[in-house]
Amino acid sequence: MANFKTRLIVILAGFIVNALVYVYVHRANDDESYKPERSLSQLMDSNRFQAVRDPAELKHDPVKIPKNVIFHPVRLELISDKLRKTPLPNFSKRPSAKPCQTRAFILLIINSRVGQLERRNAIRKSWGHGGDYIEMMKSPYAWRLLFILGRSGDAKADQKIEDESRQYGDMILGDFYDNMRNLTHKTLLAMRWALTRCQPVYYFKGDDDVFLNQPRFFDYMAHLYIANSHRFWIGRVDQDWSAYRVVRDPKHKYYVPKSDYNEKLFPHFCSGFAYVMSFSVLRDLVSAIANVTLLKTVDDAYVGILAKTAKIKPMNNPRFHLFIPPQPKHIYSEKEIDGSLAEHDIVKKGQQHKLLSMARSAMSRDLTPTVKLKAVAVNALGQEVNITYAPFV
């Protein structure tokens, strides 16, 4: 017990030393000093995170990320679920991803379907691959990508999915049938897996037709982490009240009976194609499930009800972008991609790779000159290490 307390004190001391050195470096080299005491709402309102399409207008100074001290891995203690009024979907015995051995920094869980192997591979080979961040932060869980799927009802197709899961180790396989009636079950299974198996600092949920601007998104999360912003749910929050109208037509795929939800409008929520939340929000949303009747087909609206129950307000960031109506033939410019965090309806072959290349190109030109500072800090093992601070390329 004494050793554990000693180690915990060392870890906390390391955090404090690293934070002080980091703030000194960042303030000394940014045109606009980054102030960790800023609230998240101030950050969202600042020029740094505005949804502009011209990178020349985006006053966004990429964070100088300490190579192995921005996030110290902490040993996991798996959380046991209590009995709930609304049962959570069970984890299946099908071959699935292994739990994290230490807390993840960013955990990304992507909704996919049995027939979408090409989409999964495109993501795996582009923005889903987090090798650069894993190396930079010296943590195997700095950036962890997983896909979540149910059963198709076709034994051969389901067997191929299980083989794929064994091959890549990045799939959560549920026992539910993967259809619209189980969409919310799928979302809840992902949230429960994240909470009990990985406990990420930040949790991203998306669909397999989404492009995520990996360098900008990681930079965004790093800024929020350094600013000590640990209670938020951010995505696209529709400003049109009609988007929250409850569908009462039994023939509609989003039908919700009054017996399940008696209000005329849903509370505001982040659109389900892509959003990110902090661990404390993830934890409180899962806890709220016990008090909220399940809505099977409107997963994002259901998460919005959970958020209202837990007194969590969704925050709109228009850089989580989709076209209404859809524009499948739209040709993206580098300026558009640099001003975006997530884009919806990206399904063309090779499009994920192309957009990531554009994002990296824009990010590299935006970086400030490298500034290095050697410092001595303490890592999670209590060892003194030399730290070199430099922008991420």
What pLDDT, on a 0 to 100 scale, did the predictor assign at position 90? 57
Give dist(CA 201, CA 350) in Å, integer.
Answer: 31
Name the residue among 203, 228, 234 with its Cα closest to residue 104.
203
Residue 373 lies in a domain: no
Per the structure block, which two tokens stand in for 225? 């982490």
Place of tokens 């290095």: 372
Give dist(CA 195, CA 273) in Å, integer.
Answer: 20
Q: Say if CB 71 and CB 145 are below 8 A apart.
A: no
Q: Say if CB 275 and CB 235 are below 8 A apart.
A: yes
> Which residues constitute the domain of residue 306?
38-368
What pLDDT, on a 0 to 100 scale, did the predictor assign at position 104? 94
What pLDDT, on a 0 to 100 scale, did the predictor assign at position 56? 30
Q: Which residues of the chain have pLDDT under 70?
A: 1-91, 367-393
Mean pLDDT of the chain: 77
C-alpha distances out from residue 235 to 109, 248, 311, Å:
15, 26, 17
To 5 degrees, how large is the angle CA 111–CA 113–CA 115?
150
What pLDDT, on a 0 to 100 scale, did the predictor assign at position 88? 52
Place of tokens 């093992």: 381
Other C-beta atoms lying within 10 Å of the C-beta of residue 74: 13
Q: Say if CB 258 and CB 52 are below 8 A apart.
A: no
Give dist(CA 324, CA 271) in Å, integer.
Answer: 13
Task: Write out the H or E segment, with its range, that includes residue 207.
Answer: strand 202-207
Residue 21 lies in a domain: no
Give dist(CA 278, CA 203) in Å, integer.
Answer: 6
What pLDDT, on a 0 to 100 scale, did the predictor assign at position 365? 82
Residue 340 lies in a domain: yes
Residue 3 lies in a domain: no
DSSP 169: S
What pLDDT, on a 0 to 100 scale, did the predictor assign at position 226? 87
What pLDDT, on a 0 to 100 scale, did the predictor assign at position 89? 55
Residue 338 lies in a domain: yes
Residue 54 lies in a domain: yes
For the domain that residue 195 is a member of, what is the CATH number?
3.90.550.50
What pLDDT, on a 0 to 100 scale, did the predictor assign at position 372? 30
Please report how many Cα atoms fall inside a 13 Å half-sphere around the Cα of residue 95, on the Cβ side: 13
> Per-residue pLDDT tens for 305-329?
999 999 999 999 999 999 988 898 8
> Per-residue pLDDT tens for 222-267?
999 988 888 999 999 999 999 999 999 999 999 999 999 999 999 9
What pLDDT, on a 0 to 100 scale, did the predictor assign at position 87? 53
The domain total for the chain is 1
DSSP 73: -
With 0-12 CB in 10 A as exposed, 13-18 as middle and 19+ as buried, what is 80?
exposed
In this structure, which amino acid lies at residue 391?
P
What pLDDT, on a 0 to 100 scale, did the predictor assign at position 86? 53
Residue 208 lies in a domain: yes
Name the residue among 204, 207, 201, 299 with its Cα closest to residue 256.
299
Give dist(CA 64, CA 136) in Å, integer.
Answer: 12
